[in-house]
Amino acid sequence: MPGEFELIQRFFHQPTSHTELGAGDDAALIRPRPGMQLAISTDMLVEGRHFFAGADPFLLGWKAAAVNISDMAAMGAEPRWITLAIALPAADEAWIDLLARGFRDCCEAYVVDWVGGDTTRGPLNLCPTIFGELPAGEAIRRDGARHGDDIWISGWPGMAALGLAHLRDGLELVSGWQESCVERLHRPMPRVALGIKLRGLASAMLDVSDGMLGDLSHILERSGVGAVLEETSLPIAPLLAACRRTEHAMSALLSGGDDYELLFTVPREQRGQIEALARKLELPLHRIGRILDKPGLWLQRGNGVAESVEALGFDHFGAS
């Protein structure tokens, strides 16, 4: 059975492209580019909490990197360096090799240097830490939403939640859509290019990991504002096509997580620029509501009646 340092050398020691000193010493050495500031985030994945026991190791490695890269996208930062601390129940070389390949492939896809980490024996737990760069003062934070701003979301949120419901609860999905939803759950694609392009346009932003309503509530709380979402503008069509049940589709869209799409606010006068950006990136961007000057969260139904809604999202310490 290989020891800790042999495992690190064989599976977790990767070449780098923009790092002064990578893995292999007591610390990596990195140098931000002139005029840039660092953005740093950690997002842990725990077996039984964030992924099923027996999960595909390649996809698990990909997702561990992707959810952290998404945190950089949510700030408008360019992801540059990442570490991985991992607890392993056993030194299964074939399993570790696939995990490392998935993690490495995601890093390579987003040009992120894997510069170190740590391994230990214990319950399966992956804890990356990511470092990104962005021009000083240009970070897109959660506290900038203002009255009258449009609310936008990227892509097709809710598909990952349907994939999870299919695997965990046996929710029946239409053939063809089933594979797409499960793929979205296991292999998220962080919206890095969009996040960078939104510098100077978005007033507030985050990535949707715990559900649209729950994550939007973080922006509202930090910005001291409220919001109304328009039912007729919500991107629900693919979800209805996938499950053919309105209640499941709406729940996945509003309260499901794991899509890692970007939810952001933009001043109304910038609406044309966001529409042009959607065309340039060939990425659907949906205007789903607007920011209000009074606290609260409402859903405006198709008949024009606005109903107060509860911002429910995933809570690690809430009821199971």
Confirm whether residue 71 is marked as ligand binding.
yes
Asked if 17 contacts 113 with a C-beta cutoff of 8 angstroms, the reply is: yes
- Helices (H), ranges, 76-157: 93-109
Which residues on neighbouring strands pair with residue 196, listed in sequence order? Answer: none
Is 36 within 8 Å of 133 (Cβ atoms)?
yes
Residue 41 assigned as binding residue: yes
Was 43 annotated as part of a binding site? Answer: yes
Q: How far apart are CA 263 and CA 184, in angstroms?
A: 17
Q: Is 118 annotated as a binding residue?
A: yes
In what helix (H) or strand (E) does residue 243 lie, and over which residues does it extend?
helix 237-243
Positive or negative, the CA dihedral 127, 104, 62, 36 is: positive
DSSP string spanning 147-191?
Answer: TT-EEEEES-TTHHHHHHHHHHH-----TTHHHHHHHHHHS----
Is 142 annotated to bind a ligand? Reply is yes
Does the annotation flag 314 for ligand binding? yes
277 vs 287: CA distance, rounded Å: 13
Both tokens of 293, joined, read 């000057």
Query: Look-up: residue for tokens 């966001």?
Result: 274
CB 45 within 8 A of CB 60: yes
CA distance linking residue 7 with residue 4, whole number of Å:
5
Q: 97 labelled as ligand-binding?
A: no
Q: How far apart are the first and last CA of the chain?
A: 37
Q: Residue 232 annotated as binding?
A: no
- The answer to whether 207 and 70 are in contact (CB under 8 A) is yes
Binding residues: 26, 41-43, 50, 71, 117-118, 142, 207, 209-210, 258, 314
The binding site for ATP comprises 117-118, 142, 209
Residues annotated within a binding site for Mg(2+): 26, 41-43, 71, 118, 207, 210
In the annotated binding site for substrate, the residues are 50, 258, 314
